[in-house]
Amino acid sequence: MAPELLGFQLTHRTMRGDTRRLATLAAELAEGRQTADPARARAVSEYVRALCAGIHHHHTMEDRVLWPVLERSAGAEVDLRDLSDDHSALDPLLNEIDGQAVAFATTRDASALASSLARLADMLDEHIEEEERLLFPVIMKYVSAADWKKVEDAVRKGTKASVELPRIEQYARPEELARLRRLAGPVLSVLLALFRGGHRRRQRLVFGPLAA
């Protein structure tokens, strides 16, 4: 069996999508095109901080778990130096954004946050596109399904299903969601039904009443 990469693809898409949406939101808050009362400011802050923690966890697990699997399986066929350098560059920015999110909850001044989130969105777009272009063919050719499952299990351990599953549902195309349901079985539908309402309430509070 070949590795199933759909979960990683969707995780990448949710990170990119949420970061870009938050960058847009922060810019509109900074420019006065949207406003945030204390409750919304706290919700935005918490959402940004959770996103940063998720991105950090994802690339840390790539460094600690996926990279060794690739080096063992593909050897000289893969060069991870540039991607590792990207991960090293992301951490200071994620820490900066986390601090700015904390400050925003009190000051409601989104100027610095907007600038940093825009930088992060651009970095993620470039990094993830390069990672998928370079590594996905190598994974499909050299990594066993069993080793890939170990990578996915390690990544999954540091995430909250109540947060991640509704985000995946939000960003997955209908045919991808159908594929996920076939892979995961009935439990996925049960969990999505359980977590969907809370996700939608968070989205409306952070992004506005028209959010998914």
Domain ranges of the chain: 9-159, 161-211
Strands (E), the chain: none
Residues 5, 179: Cα–Cα separation, whole Å: 12
DSSP 3: -
CATH topology of domain 9-159: Four Helix Bundle (Hemerythrin (Met), subunit A) (1.20.120)
Residues 168, 191: Cα–Cα separation, whole Å: 12
pLDDT of the residue at 212: 62
**How many Cα atoms within 13 Å fall on the side-chain side of residue 172?**
21
Contacts of 19 (CB under 8 A, 6+ apart): 51, 55, 117, 120, 121, 124
Residues of the chain with pLDDT under 70: 210, 212
pTM: 0.94
pLDDT of the residue at 210: 67
pLDDT of the residue at 141: 96
Nearest to 112 by CA among 103, 122, 94, 100: 100
Backbone dihedral region for residue 79 (phi beyond 0: left; psi -120 to 50: alpha; all else: beta): beta
